[in-house]
Structure 1
């Protein structure tokens, strides 16, 4: 078995005196692990840092084997991102989310969003918005997507300002008013790809999305969310001088 692809480094772990197991998010092969012989060498260590983009060739005798990677650097992002809390925590949060996916499942949309996020982690406001859009996409790719296209009660598409915490469907202003205290605010930027987010709407989006991650993803697995997401959000809002209640 053999393939070539591009990938973003999510992490490495030591395997022997000289080798590491490399975890990539690839374009066509999803989150994929492989052994890198000589991965602990001085030449390879700077290449195999989280956030870097690489060209990878994977080989194995059988598809189910761990296999080996041969990698070459394409873009070095790690050095510039490790200097900021937003970049460092952002990479950790991104990797933690992607590890919710089964290994070797192809998710090209998530790869593209991952690559875009890595490019913008030095811009806290842009990174926050992209990260929340990434979370919405991740829920959808995992089969827990929210239906924000029309009102669950009336079928209309106007004034969709709430989300039902039970159904994950949008609710418009008039239909939701009697139960407003039980509904979650729906930030407009999550519905419209061209709508830019303000800081208050990003706080609403963070609370909205963690509700469904905890209910549909972490809860059934019996594991609470790790600290990576919270650390990233706190660092990003702090960089914007916003005291966020998440």
Structure 2
């Protein structure tokens, strides 16, 4: 059994004295682990950094075995952000979320595309807005997408200003005003596109964090990554 696939490094752990087990998000094979012989050596350590884009070749005698990876570095995103604490924390948070959220060996091409888009966008000033969209895409890919298209109470599609924590659906400004203390603010950039300011980014992250914790992480007895908190603190 073997395959080749474009992949993103999610997590790495030591294996024995010289090896490492890498967890990758692959384009066609989902979240997939494999043994990297010599993974702790000088040649492989720079490759095995969370967030790096790699070309992975996996092989095993039987499909249910852990198998072995041979990796070719395509883009060293992690090294590019070593001097930028906020971007590095965003990279770490995104990889940790995917590692915690996705089942093993089930294809999630939409999640791979969203993570790849985020890694590319980290080089731009608009990356915080893209990060919020990434978390929304992760929720959507796992079957917990938010409905931000119309008001849950009235059906209107304009002047949407809130999101219900109970239903994950948008609520219009007028319909939600009496209950605003119980609703999430809906940042305009998630409806209209473009880039959100710092307040809108925090509002978006508060909303996505709530739904990720409730629907994705809590059932797995996991918490939001510490790197996510570091990222938010750097944005303030």
- Write out per-residue CA displacement over residues 70-110 of structure 1, whole angstroms, 9 at most, x where no aligned residue: 11122222222122212321222012110111112212222
Which position in structure 1 is the counterpart of 2:159? 159
Match of 1:113 in 2: 114
Structure 1 residues 154 and 232: alpha-carbon distance in aligned structure 2, compared to 1, 3 A threshold: same
TM-score (norm 2): 0.92
Report the counterpart of residue 25 of structure 1 in structure 2. 25
Q: TM-score, normalised by structure 1?
A: 0.88
3-state DSSP of counterpart to 2:232: helix
Shift of 1:151: 0.8
1:141 corresponding residue in structure 2: 141
1:145 deviates by 1.1
Unaligned runs of 5+ in 1: 238-242
Aligned residue number for residue 240 of structure 1: none
State how far apart, in whole Å, the 2-side matches of 1:59 and 1:158 are: 52
| Compared CA separation, residues 22 and 219, structure 1 to 2 (3 A) | closer
In structure 2, relative to structure 1, the CA distance for the partners of 1:223 and 1:41 (3 Å cut) is: closer
How far is the alpha carbon of 1:221 from its aligned partner? 3.4
Q: How does 1:73-84 map to 2 (within 5 A)?
A: 73-84=73-84
Secondary structure of the corresponding residue to residue 8 of structure 1: strand
Residue of structure 2 in register with 1:229 after alignment: 228
The corresponding residue for 2:90 is 90
Local SS of the residue matching 2:24: strand
Asked if the contact 1:151/1:157 (under 8 Å) is kept, the reply is yes
Quote the Cα distance in structure 2 between the aligned partners of 1:169 and 1:203.
Answer: 19
Tell me the equivalent position of 2:203. 204
CA gap 1:23/1:198 in 2 versus in 1, 3 angstroms: same
Query: Per the alignment, do residues 97 and 154 of structure 1 end up closer, same or farther by CA in structure 2, a change over 3 Å counting?
Result: same
Q: Distance in 1 between the 2:92 and 2:63 partners?
A: 28
1:194-229 deviation per Cα after TM superposition (whole angstroms, max 9, x unaligned): 332222211111111122123222333344323221
Does the 8 A contact of 2:51 with 2:95 survive in 1?
no
2:196 matches 1:213: no
Say whether 1:34 aligns with 2:24. Answer: no
Number of equivalent positions: 235
Distance 1:222 1:50 in 2: 22
Question: Contact 1:54–1:72 at 8 Å: present in 2 too?
Answer: yes
What RMSD in Å do the two structures reach over aligned CA positions? 1.7
Range moving further from structure 2, 106-115 or 145-154? 106-115
Q: Secondary structure at the match of 1:234?
A: helix
Matched residue, 2:184? 184
SS of residue paired to 2:126: helix
Q: Does the CA-based 8 Å contact 1:128-1:233 persist in structure 2?
A: no
